Amino acid sequence: MEAIEELAVQPCTSSLYLRPFRLSYRQNGTKKFWDFMRTHDSVSILIFNTSRQCFVVVKQFRPAVYMCEVERHHPQVFQNQDKESFPSLEKPLPAVVGVTYELCAGIVDKPGLSLEEIACEEVLEECGYHISTADLRRITSYRSGVGVTGSRQTLFYAEVNDQMRTTGGGGQPEEGELIEVVEIPLGESMKFAYDETFPKTMGVIFSFTWFHNNIAPKLPKK
């Protein structure tokens, strides 16, 4: 996962996932504009394994996170953003600075499938558990990246057990996915959620908190 080589940054003139726009508008009599991106909505799933009393999350390299760290250490990389090429880094940062812990998730890009069906596919592909739409509980939906994309993410909860795991997960290599499945013990989950040494998404923190407020009190006492 962390064997990253031959880094190169270049302008993005077209993309299957992002479309940049500039909106011009007048608000309370003042002329304004705002640059934004159109992208896909998404689903995410909080997975709890009842056999071992742990959360199942994923770990993967995120180029955008990595480049934020690169810019923080080497601000010159993006200083000449209007040029055709960007300066190369002689000594790139270790890839681990771009690795994050996340909920199982995926974009909504299949018009024929419901959000629940897409969520089931993602759980199987990324984490290896076979679930049905009846196994899902919708927690809520919210807007993410409100300053840039404004896309909607819908969060589900699913309980699984060891018998429901049919593959090792890991994503789809043919689509360039390289995902590591990670288990977070229930008793350590809130410490993990707020430990900044483990880079993670806000979805992990929110969903762990939701679980402790709504599901944990109903668990059988040992």
Q: Which tens digits make up the pLDDT trace of 67-100?
A: 899 888 877 777 765 555 566 666 778 899 999 9
CB-side exposure of 83: number of CA atoms within 13 Å? 9
SS3 track for the chain: CCCCCCCCCCCCCCCCCCEEEEEEEEECCEEEEEEEEECCCEEEEEEEECCCCEEEEEEEECHHHHHHHHHHHCHHHHCCCCCCCCCCCCCCCCHHHHEEEECEEEECCCCCCCHHHHHHHHHHHHHCECCCHHHEEEEEEEEECCCCCCEEEEEEEEEECHHHECCCCCCCHHHCCCCEEEEEEHHHHHHHHHCCCCCECHHHHHHHHHHHHHCHHHCCCC
* Residue-number span of the structural domain to which 120 is assigned: 20-79+90-216
Q: How far apart are alpha carbons 154 and 158 in whole angstroms?
A: 13
Q: Tell me the whole-structure pTM to 2 decimals.
A: 0.91
* Structural domains of the chain, count: 1
Residue 11 within any structural domain of the chain: no
pLDDT of residue 137: 98
pLDDT of residue 132: 98
Q: Strand 136-144 relative to strand 151-160: parallel, antiparallel, unpaired?
A: antiparallel
Residue 73 within any structural domain of the chain: yes
Asked if the model's pLDDT at residue 6 lies above 80, the reply is: no
Residue 3 within any structural domain of the chain: no
Residue 144 within any structural domain of the chain: yes
**Mean pLDDT rounded to a whole number for the chain:** 91
Position 8 confidence tier, pLDDT thresholds 50, 70, 90: confident
Q: Quick check: 166 and 130 in contact, CB under 8 A?
A: yes
Position 222 confidence tier, pLDDT thresholds 50, 70, 90: low
- Distances 147 to 35, 36, 150, 202 between C-alpha atoms, Å: 9, 7, 7, 16
Beta-carbon count within 10 A of 153 CB: 19
pLDDT of residue 34: 95
Encoded tokens for 162: 């060891």
CATH number for the domain including 56?
Answer: 3.90.79.10
Residue 14 within any structural domain of the chain: no
Position 176 confidence tier, pLDDT thresholds 50, 70, 90: low
